[in-house]
Amino acid sequence: MAKITKRVVDAATPVAKKQVLIWDETFAGFGLVVYPSGVKSYVYQYRNAEGRSHRATIGKHGDWTPDQARKKAEELRQIVRDGGDPLTAKRNVKQSPTVGDLLDAYLDSQDFADKAPSTQSIDRGRIERHLRPLLGKRHAHLLADNDIKKALAALPRFLISRSPSAW
């Protein structure tokens, strides 16, 4: 084929009931997928350390230019060269627990069950009205100090026993 440029992407046409793959001749593994719906996405195909072939989707044409997608594919290639697996890393992040998962685990724990009913009620209310809406969908391992400070600033003053500057 040819180097994937805007002209090549614009000229690519969908085929009914079949994906069309266009590979870049200057960068092994970098390509364009044209779906039957007409959607065009940039991809990077590589082999992991075990020799298995994986295809990482970089993004849709329109959201990404060919040059931006090529640069991202180069970053992915460097991760692979360093022994990493970009798709496995992405999958691990998606499967990691969210703050909501940790809150559910706390509510199911023996420590929570051992608390007085009034304390359980207060804790459950704080979790459902404040913590879950503010942080529940965030991945716990990705939380930073600044995220906690923003959440504390959003809480009503009577719920905060210490000032956010103490954090």
- CB atoms under 10 Å from CB of 152, counted, come to 17
Q: Per the structure block, which two tokens stand in for 95?
A: 């499967």
pLDDT tier at 159, thresholds 50, 70, 90: low
- Alpha-carbon gap, residue 20 to 40, rounded angstroms: 9
Residue 1 confidence (pLDDT) above 70: no
Q: What percent of the chain has pLDDT over 70?
A: 93
pLDDT for the residue numbered 166: 47
Whose structure tokens read 């072939």? 53
pLDDT tier at 167, thresholds 50, 70, 90: very low
pLDDT for the residue numbered 151: 84
Can you state the angle between helices 86-95 and 66-81, rounded to 10 degrees? 90
pTM above 0.75, yes or no: no
Q: Per the structure block, which two tokens stand in for 39?
A: 């959607």
* Digit-coded pLDDT (tens) for 60-72: 999 999 999 999 9
Q: What is the CATH number assigned to the segment(s) 6-94?
A: 3.30.160.390
Residue 95 confidence (pLDDT) above 90: no
Write phi, then psi, for 38 (nearest 5 degrees).
100, -10
Q: Where in the chain is the domain with CATH 3.30.160.390?
A: 6-94
